[in-house]
Amino acid sequence: MDTTLQDPLIGRLLDGRYRVEARIAVGGMATVYRAVDTRLDRVLALKVMHPALAADASFVERFIREAKSVARLAHPNVVSVYDQGAEGAWVYLAMEYVAGCTLRDVLRDRGALQPRAALDILEPVLAALGAAHRAGFVHRDMKPENVLIGDDGWVKVADFGLVRAVGTSTDTTGSLLGTVSYLAPEQIEHGTADTRSDVYACGVVLYEMLTGAKPHTGENAAQIIYRHLNQDVPPPSAAVPGLSPALDALVAGATARDAEARAQDAVVLLAQTLEARAVLGDADLDAMPPQALAPVSAGAENRTSVLPRAVPEDRGTTHRTSRLEMPATATASVATARPRRSARAGRPGGAPRRGLYAVVTALVLVLLVGGGVWYINSGQFTEVPALLGQTQANAEKRLGDAGLDVESVDKAYSDTVDRGSVISSDPAPGDRVRGNDAVKLVVSRGPETVDVPDVAGISLADARKALKEAGLAPGMVTREFSDEVGRGEVVRTDPEAGTGRHPDSAVALVVSKGAPVEVPDVSGLSVEDATAALEEEGLKAEVEPGRVESSQVAGDVDRQAPDAGAEAAEGDTVRLTVSKGPPMVEVPDVTGKDVDEARELLEDAGFEVRVDRPFLSFSDTVASQSVDGGGTAAEGSTVTIRTKGL
C-alpha cells in the first residue's frame, strides 16, 4: 500500500502556491516532498518541518533565520533555497528539486566505488563546502544522505546551515544531532564544530566510498562515539588491498583526531585531493573494488530514509551554468541506484461497484448543493482576485474590476517578490468578501540591504559587535602584517565598508598582526643570551623539551623556529632547540702507522688531525697520539699525532 496516500499534505496547495505531489524522504527534522510552484510552473522540493518541532517558536525563528542566510549561498553544487514560509502548523522551505538519488543510495546498491568515481563525487562536494566555509558557514552534518547525485550527473550538497538552527538538540533516540558515524571528535567531546569538522566528515565519506563500509562501527551510538575519540580512521588499503598510498594519506590527513592536524577548511582539502589525483595513474584510479565487499546496509545510525521516487512529467529543460562530468563508473552507479518505478495496480476483477456508485452520488450531491449556495450568495459576496506577484497597478485594476476598493497600501522588504509587486493582501486572494468591502495590499520594496559598517582600526571584538548590531554576521577572520594598523585591530572588511548586503550576510574580517619583525639569528648563543636578544625585538622565547647532539657547545642554542631572517609579529614566540654537545666517537689506534694512513683513519672517524714532528725528525711513523686508541673524543675535535724523533 502506498503510505503517501495517508499523508495529509499530499494533494494540498500549501500557502496558496505550492501543490504537494509526492513524498520523497523522511528525516528526523522534516519530511521532503516533490511539489509544483503553481506561480512559476516549476517542480521543486518542499522541506516541511515536523509539527512537533514547529510548535517551538524559538526553534522556528532560528530555522528561518538560518534558511535565509543559506539562501544567499549561490553555488552550482549547493541545493538552492528559493523560498520559506508557514501555513498553520506547516513550516517549510522551498528548495531546488534534484531528480536522481543520494550518495547513500549509491553506496547501498554498489558498495565500494572505484577511486576515480569516489574523487569525482568528493571534488564537487568540497567545492560546495569550500564556498560555504569562505562565506562563514559550517555544514555540521556532512554524510552521504546529504550528497545528491542528479540524473544528469550533477553532484549537489543539501541541508546547509539547517543543523546550526537546531544547536545541541537531541533526536528521539537520544543520540547527538548529526549522524554519529561522521561526527568529528571535537563535536562529540566539546560540542563545537568549525570548518575542520566538515573536513573530518568528508574524510569519513571518502573512506566509505573507497571501502564500502564506515571506518568506525558498533552495536550502538556509544560504541561508535568511543571509537571516534580513541581510534584513528584506518587506511582504506587495509580493507581494500591495492589502493594507492596517496588515497590512504588523503583519508588520514582529513580524519586526524587532532583538529589542528587536518586541512583547515574544504578549500584546502580540495587542493590536497587534486594533488592526490595528479599522482595517481589510470591503474590506481580505475582499480576495481573486491567483489566480496558487500554494499552498505542502512543501520540505526543512518537516520534519513529515502522513499521510492515517482518520476515527474517533463516540465522543460532548466538552464544550468556548470556541470560535473561524471565518469562511466560513477554514471553507472547512479543509474543502478535509482528507485524503480512501481507498476500500477489495477482494480481486482469482479470487485463490488457499490463504492464507486456511492462516490458518484456524493459528487452529484456536492455539485447540486454548491450551485445552490453560489446562486444565493452571488449578489452579496465577491471573491478577492489573484493579486500576489502582480504589480500594484495591475492589482488595483483587478480589485476595481471585481467591485472592490483598495483600503491601504503598505510597503515591505522581500527577497522573493520583485520591487513594486504585491507580497500579500488582507483579505487573501480567494477569500469571499462583501461587494462593498476594501482590501489592504502589501507591496514589495525589493530585497532589504544593510550597509557594511566601517570597522577599520577597532578591535576584532568591537568589529564583530558592530556587524551584529548592523544586522550582519561576522565571517571568516584572516590576519596579515600592517605597518599602519595596530596588532589585533581590523585592517579592512570583505566586502568593503559601505557595500550593501542582505541582512545576516557574512562579512569577512582582515585583522592586523602589527608591523613585521625580523627574527634575529640566536644560534650558538646561550639560552639566556638568546632570550634577551629575542625580547629586544619584541619576541618571546620558548625552549623545546629535550636536547640534541650538535656541533654547538652544550647548553647553547642549536636551531630556532622561525629561522633567522623570517618575518614575525610582535609578541610571537620563537622556539629554541638546545644542544647537548657533539656526539662522542671512539678514537682509532694509529700508533706505529704511517702518517698519511693515520690521518686518513682519524678523518674517516670524524676528527680533525694535527701532525707534530720533533725537531730534526724525518720519520713518517706515528709514535704517539693525543687521545689513546680506543678512547673517545667529541666528533669534529682535533687529535694530535706525533712522529718518532731521532
**Which residues are tagged catalytic?**
141
Distance CA 354, CA 339 (A): 36
Query: For residues 416 and 83, is the Cβ–Cβ distance under 8 A?
Result: yes
- Rounded to 5 degrees, φ, ψ at 295 are -60, 155
Q: Whose CA is closest to 87, among 9, 21, 171?
A: 9
Query: For residues 493 and 470, is the Cβ–Cβ distance under 8 A?
Result: no
CA dihedral 359, 364, 370, 372 (to 10 degrees): -160
- Rounded to 5 degrees, φ, ψ at 314 are -70, 120
Distance CA 170, CA 172 (A): 7
- Lookup result for grid cell 585592517: 491
Distance CA 421, CA 441 (A): 10
Residues 6+ apart with CB under 8 A from 571: 487, 514, 538, 539, 540
Q: In sequence order, what E strands does 132-186 have? A: 147-150, 155-157
Q: Helices 115-134 & 195-211, crossing angle to 10 degrees?
A: 170
The CB density around residue 398, as the number of other CB atoms within 10 Å, is 18
Distance CA 15, CA 90 (A): 9
Distance CA 193, CA 200 (A): 10
Query: What element of type H or E holds 95?
Result: strand 90-96
Distance CA 144, CA 209 (A): 9
Distance CA 607, CA 199 (A): 52
Query: For residues 357 and 141, is the Cβ–Cβ distance under 8 A?
Result: no
Distance CA 600, CA 126 (A): 60
Distance CA 238, CA 347 (A): 55
Peptide bond into 495 cis (omega under 30): yes
Q: Whose CA is closest to 118, among 209, 182, 214?
A: 209
Query: For residues 419 and 471, is the Cβ–Cβ distance under 8 A?
Result: no
Q: Which three cell numbers stand for residue 409?
A: 497600501
Distance CA 510, CA 493 (A): 6
The partner residues of 510 in beta bridges, in order of sequence, read: 478, 492
Q: Whose CA is closest to 520, among 577, 565, 570, 572?
A: 565
Phi-psi region of 258 (alpha: psi -120 to 50; beta: other; left: phi over 0): beta
Distance CA 635, CA 355 (A): 104
